């Protein structure tokens, strides 16, 4: 029998994700949910709808999350962690509010939340905290006593995320034709966001100016460097690398992080780079941004150029990632009990904060966000 792990004060874990359509009829309402009030050009939406229709209107993200739920439950059971795991989404069923309502009915009062975004940014962090605030407010309006929700820290530098990615890059290098393998460049890729959002990502102390990218870019560079260094140590070959971006939306006159992966492939080819491994460092599963924007669009661009490319695996439901989630949860539980837990992190930035401070990844127009120092409630009051 494994030793019992102590999850107190938590009585449940909530996996909080983006959600995606599960059939052709879901695509348009899903996109309406995603883009409500976010000023995305109609043309871009039509185009993105086509990406989903190409895959039968089914995003891979929900299946990926179901696999992760299975992996988490298995890991918890094997390690004596007796904690139920729930799943709720921002943009599609199971919707966050419905899941939280079920959790309250099941008697849960103190909930740890793992978002499927590993990095700081408005879209990947604060927007999930806004979704939690909206859900808690909705439950209160229904006459329920809202539970307390705590969002687990950013995990972009956790070994349980980075080690599977390192293995993925090694496998993708091995899959390249031998004559171009040693000369291959690594293109670490993540979701582009407006440079204004990048500059204000992370805590106020991490904000930057003039498109330097704030915590969002700094965290991706840190993760990429760990992976590139490990790959060099394992192969004995120093593969040049760069952080690039994908999946840009928004109006063309608003600056977003660049270069785009497809432009990068063109430039690399023009520079005589013999091959590229695309490393989706910004994503934790093979969802649509990976399956369409990389495996379909960027792969077609590479084929047109005659540039050999491979794409390395995301962490998905890797048991090492499930173990990392257990580690993050037990770490936070210990901290909430007043202990000083060891916090696993690779790279130069170290383990990030538990509680987002005021001004972390601000929204364009301020809205209530739970699970941070600016959320009215026991946490903010205790620290005030």
Ligand X SMILES: CC1=C(CCC(=O)O)c2cc3nc(cc4[nH]c(cc5[nH]c(cc1n2)c(C)c5CCC(=O)O)c(CCC(=O)O)c4C)C(CCC(=O)O)=C3C
The reply to whether 20 sits near ligand X by the rule CB under 6 A is yes
Geometric angle at alpha carbon 58, from 124 and 68, rounded to 5°: 55
Q: What does 215-271 look like in DSSP terms, one character per residue?
A: HHHHHHHHHHHHHHHHHHHHHS----EEEEEE---S-TTS-B---BHHHHHHHHHHT
The reply to whether 250 sits near ligand X by the rule CB under 6 A is yes
Q: Which stretch binds ligand X (CB under 6 A): 119-127, 204-212, 308-316, 349-357?
A: 119-127
- Kindly tell me which of 6 and 134 has the beta carbon lying closer to ligand X: 134
- Kindly tell me which of 7 and 352 has the beta carbon lying closer to ligand X: 352
- Residues belonging to the binding site for Fe(2+) are 191, 289
Considering the complex, what minimum distance in angstroms separates the CB of residue 290 from ligand X? 8
Sheet holding 309-311, edge to edge: 241-246, 185-191, 276-279, 309-311
Torsion sign across C-alpha atoms 182, 188, 189, 194 = negative
Q: Which stretch binds ligand X (CB under 6 A): 199-207, 282-290, 338-346, 347-355?
A: 282-290
Q: How many helices (H) and strands (E) does the chain have?
A: 14, 8
- Kindly tell me which of 63 and 355 has the beta carbon lying closer to ligand X: 63
Q: What does 350-384 look like in DSSP terms, one character per residue?
A: ----SSBPTTSS--SS----SSBTTSTTHHHHHH-
What single DSSP character describes residue 146? P
Give me the 123-162 binding string for ligand X, x by CB under 6 A, dash otherwise: xx--------------------------------------
Cα–Cα dist 278/280, whole Å: 6
Size of the site for ligand X (CB under 6 A): 26
Give me the 73-92 binding string for ligand X, x by CB under 6 A, dash otherwise: --------------------
Distant-in-sequence, close-in-space partners of 319: CB < 8 Å, separation ≥ 6: 71, 74, 75
Distant-in-sequence, close-in-space partners of 188: CB < 8 Å, separation ≥ 6: 220, 223, 224, 227, 228, 241, 242, 243, 244, 279, 281
Q: Out of 99, 121, 172, 310, which residue is the one contacting ligand X (CB under 6 A)?
A: 121
Q: Out of 35, 203, 235, 296, which residue is the one contacting ligand X (CB under 6 A)?
A: 35
- Kindly tell me which of 280 and 308 has the beta carbon lying closer to ligand X: 280
Q: Out of 89, 99, 117, 246, which residue is the one contacting ligand X (CB under 6 A)?
A: 117
The reply to whether 40 sits near ligand X by the rule CB under 6 A is yes
Q: Out of 191, 207, 220, 311, which residue is the one contacting ligand X (CB under 6 A)?
A: 191
- Kindly tell me which of 191 and 269 has the beta carbon lying closer to ligand X: 191
- Residues belonging to the binding site for Fe-coproporphyrin III are 59, 128
Considering the complex, what minimum distance in angstroms separates the CB of residue 20 from ligand X? 3
Cα–Cα dist 298/101, whole Å: 41
The reply to whether 200 sits near ligand X by the rule CB under 6 A is no
Distance of CA 6 to the CA centre of its chain: 26
Per CB under 6 A, residues contacting ligand X are: 18, 20, 31, 34-35, 38, 40, 44, 48, 59-61, 116-117, 121, 123-124, 191, 193, 247, 249-250, 282, 287-289
């Amino acid at each position: 029998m494994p030793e019992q792990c102590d999850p107190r004060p938590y009585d449940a874990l909530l996996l909080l994700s983006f959600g995606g359509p599960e059939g052709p009829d879901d695509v348009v309402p899903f996109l309406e949910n995603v883009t409500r009030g976010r000023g995305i050009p109609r043309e871009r939406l039509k185009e993105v709808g086509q990406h989903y229709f190409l895959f039968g209107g089914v995003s891979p993200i929900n299946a990926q999350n179901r696999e992760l739920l299975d992996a988490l439950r298995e890991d918890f059971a094997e390690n004596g962690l007796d904690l139920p795991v729930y799943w709720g989404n921002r943009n599609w069923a199971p919707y966050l509010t419905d899941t939280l309502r079920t959790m309250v009915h099941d008697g849960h009062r103190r909930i740890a939340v793992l978002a499927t975004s590993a990095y700081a940014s408005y879209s990947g962090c604060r927007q999930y905290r806004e979704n939690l605030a909206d859900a808690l407010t909705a439950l209160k309006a229904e006459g329920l006593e809202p539970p307390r929700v705590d969002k687990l820290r950013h995990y972009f530098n956790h070994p349980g995320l980075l080690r599977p990615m390192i293995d993925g890059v090694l496998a993708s290098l091995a899959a390249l034709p031998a004559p171009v393998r040693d000369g291959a460049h690594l293109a670490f890729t993540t979701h582009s966001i407006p440079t204004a959002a990048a500059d204000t990502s992370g805590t106020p102390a991490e904000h930057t100016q003039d498109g330097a990218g704030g915590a969002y870019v700094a965290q991706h560079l840190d993760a990429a460097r760990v992976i590139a260094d490990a790959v060099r140590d394992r192969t004995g070959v120093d593969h040049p690398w760069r952080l690039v971006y994908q999946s840009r939306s928004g109006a063309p006159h608003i600056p977003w992080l660049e270069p785009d992966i497809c432009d990068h492939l063109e430039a690399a080819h023009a520079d005589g780079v013999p091959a590229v491994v695309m490393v989706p460092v910004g994503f934790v599963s093979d969802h649509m941004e990976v399956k369409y924007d990389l495996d379909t669009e960027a792969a077609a661009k590479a084929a047109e150029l005659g540039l050999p490319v491979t794409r390395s695996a995301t962490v998905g439901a890797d048991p090492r990632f499930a173990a990392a989630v257990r580690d993050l949860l037990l770490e936070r539980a210990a901290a909430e009990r007043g202990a000083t837990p060891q916090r696993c992190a690779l790279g130069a930035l170290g383990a990030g904060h538990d509680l987002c401070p005021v001004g972390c990844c601000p929204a364009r127009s301020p809205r209530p966000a739970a699970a941070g120092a600016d959320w009215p409630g026991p946490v903010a009051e205790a620290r005030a």
